[in-house]
Amino acid sequence: MAFREASLDTTASPVTVWRVWSDVNHWPDWNPDMNESRLDGQLKLGATGMINTKSGGKHDVVVTHYEEGRSFELESTALPATKMAIRATITPSGNGSRITQGFEPRGLLAPIVGPMMSGPILKTFNAVLNGLKRKVEATS
């Protein structure tokens, strides 16, 4: 399946966005959907941790994609036989950055879960990206 995404432009530099977005342990400071988040160590390929969202509950996560300063992906078990990948991407854009968050269901039930969950998940992404935008622009 392909990633379903939401994007937003910000005046903050990619370096500023990366510094805030890659600090998983502080997501609840600006992410309105996050109750708790943590990584056991540095953000890097293979790192593990936990997220507890208001919309989806508590999930163990593993970093399955990592490009320093550009993007990372957390994968969790969403339902039996299904994993959910959440990807964060930063792209230089004009005098700032384009921030994109996407999700991709994976596994046996992905063809069913994807269409069923895409609307509610994308709705939370808009609030998350707006929270990130406010945080990085206040930091700049």
Give mean pLDDT, residues 40-58. Answer: 92
pLDDT greater at residue 73 or residue 122: 73
Q: What is the pTM of this model?
A: 0.91
Question: Residues with Cβ < 8 Å from 129, sequence gap 6 or more?
Answer: 6, 7, 8, 99, 101
Residues 28, 10: Cα–Cα separation, whole Å: 20
Least confident of 22-31, 33-42, 72-81: 72-81
DSSP code of residue 132: H
Average pLDDT rounded to a whole number, residues 70-89: 89
Res 25: pLDDT = 96
Residue closest to 76 by CA, chosen among 102, 109, 113, 50: 50
The structural domains of the chain, with segments of one domain joined by +, span 4-139
DSSP class of residue 3 equals: P
**Contact partners, residue 38, CB within 8 Å, separation at least 6:** 24, 25, 49, 50
Tell me the pLDDT tens digit for each residue of 2-25.
778 999 999 999 999 999 999 999
Q: How many CB atoms lie within 10 A of CB 13?
A: 16
Predicted local confidence at residue 72, as pLDDT: 98
In CATH, the architecture of 4-139 is 2-Layer Sandwich (3.30)
Mean pLDDT of 78-84: 80
